[in-house]
Each structure stands twice: as structure tokens, then as C-alpha cells.
Amino acid sequence: MHDEGQYLAIDIGNQRGKAVLFEGAVIRERMVFASSDPSSLVSRMKEWPAIPPVAISMVSRPGDPLLPFLEQNTRLLQVNGRSNVPLAMGYHTPDTLGADRLAAACGAFSRFPGRNLLVIDAGTCITIDIVDETGTFLGGSISPGLAMRARAMHSFTERLPLADAAADYSLVGKDTHTSLGSGALMGIVTEIEGRINRLNNDFPGLLVVMTGGDVLTLCKKINFNIFVMPDLVCWGLRAILLHHEIIQN
């Protein structure tokens, strides 16, 4: 296993993409770009003397020319629910399992092996997944994310305004706008806390690992010890690449 080699992990979300260049277990470079326009990433890679092996997870298909460039210039692994990963699969429909969910689970287990893990990705949707201490991905839940909840209340009513999903809200809203914001934000917080408390009974020593665009907003409100890993999906993609080197050698 070439744990000290260079690897590139690319996570394509619904709106934003992130690329992380690893050298061993050290992040050498981090790049963020619009999912629909990865040209800045391609331009940066063209400056490198060589493109390292790449693992990519895609919620949406990135704009050109990213995939053709990678296919022509390096070894590319497009991760999906059927990929060979360093976890056992306990999910009944791996064909519909998002690559980002699977990669986040792999990233958490690579960092905390042998632990019962609750892996939370707070992005466009909130995904909450269990990886048990044996390294089996069991599944979990998917619910609307912060911006989606705020927009849904505005879009499906006549008079409710659009709450600012980036603002901070308390448990009790003092007007309609802050009541909407509190409902969206604190609803997610209560959902996560409730799921943690219930799953703690079935998975002793449960460790919560959290990532996603809204992680910093949410983790400050959640009344539970949480390990925050902003680059969790990319760490998981690196773990998957290392796993593929093991099984190929």
C-alpha cells in the first residue's frame, strides 16, 4: 500500500465541487469550484508535472472538460454504490446509494476504525448514516437540508418569506422571519439530537462524525460531542484509492 503517495480526491456536489490533493496523509492543496464549471480545476492540474490517481464522487455530473481530461491523463476511479470499498455493505439498494454518502462513511471509518459511527453530511440534504464497529455500512436517513427547508416553506405558501438559511437563529423565533429560520435550523438540530439519543442505545460508544456545507452552523447548536471533518468525503475517496491499491497488488 503506497500510503505516502499522491492522490487526488474530487467531490462533486449539487452546486459546489471540491478537490483535495493528498501527499500521504497530508493535504497539500484544496480547491473549490462550481460543479457546473470545473475549468479552474482543470487549469490548475495542467500546471502539475503529472496527475496522480484520482477518485471522484458525483452527485451531479460536472461540466466539461473535467472527466475527459482525467480519463486521458491519469488513472480515474468513479466511485458509486457498487464500488469495491473498505467497508462491508449492509445497504439493501447499493445501486441507489450516493457516492458521497459511501465515501463519507469510508472516511469516518478510516479515521476511527473499530468504532460505532454516526456519519452526518449536512449539505443540500441531511444524510445520517451508521457504520458499525465491524466496518459495515448499515444505512440511515435522508432529509431536507437547511436551505431546502427554508425554500420549501417559502415556495409552497402564499405569504411566508424566504428565511436566510445562513443566519443564526435561536430556539424561539420572535417574528415570522425568525420563526421560519428557527423552524428550519432548530428542526435539523432536534432531528440530529433525537437520532443520536435513540441510536446510542443500539450502538454503544457511538461516535458522531460530521461534515458538509452547513456543519459549522449546526455543530454549534447540537448538544453532543461531535468530531467535525470538513473534508470527510475526500478523506474517504483517498481511503478507497488506497483500498484499490491493496487489492490490485
Q: Are residues 94 and 21 in the same domain?
A: no
Do 221 and 115 belong together in one domain?
Answer: yes
pLDDT in tens, 178-216: 999 999 999 999 999 999 999 999 999 999 999 999 999
Q: Is residue 37 part of a domain?
A: yes
Residues 226, 166: one domain? yes
pLDDT band at 2 (very low <50, low <70, confident <90, very high): low
Asked if the structure places residue 241 within a domain, the reply is: no
Question: Which residues are identified as catalytic?
Answer: 100
What SS3 state is found at 133? coil
Which residue range is the domain that position 18 belongs to?
1-78
Strands 26-34 and 16-23: what pairing?
Answer: antiparallel
CA 80, 124, 153, 174 dihedral sign is: positive
Tally of CA atoms within 13 A in the half-sphere of 82 that contains its CB: 2
Lowest-pLDDT range, 16-25, 46-55, 60-69?
60-69
What residue has cell string 476511479?
77
Q: Find the range with the poorest average confidence among 2-6, 44-48, 78-82, 130-134.
A: 2-6
- pLDDT exceeds 50 at position 91: yes
pLDDT of residue 248: 67
Please indicate, yes or no, whether residues 96 and 212 belong to a single structural domain of this protein.
yes
Per-residue pLDDT, averaged over 144-151, amounts to: 96
CATH code for position 5:
3.30.420.300
Read off the CATH number of the domain in which 160 is found: 3.30.420.40
Span 76-96, average pLDDT? 97
Which of 55, 78, 101 is the C-terminal boundary of a domain? 78
**CA max distance for the chain:** 62
Sorting pLDDT into bands at 50, 70 and 90, what band is 249?
A: low
How many structural domains compose the chain?
2
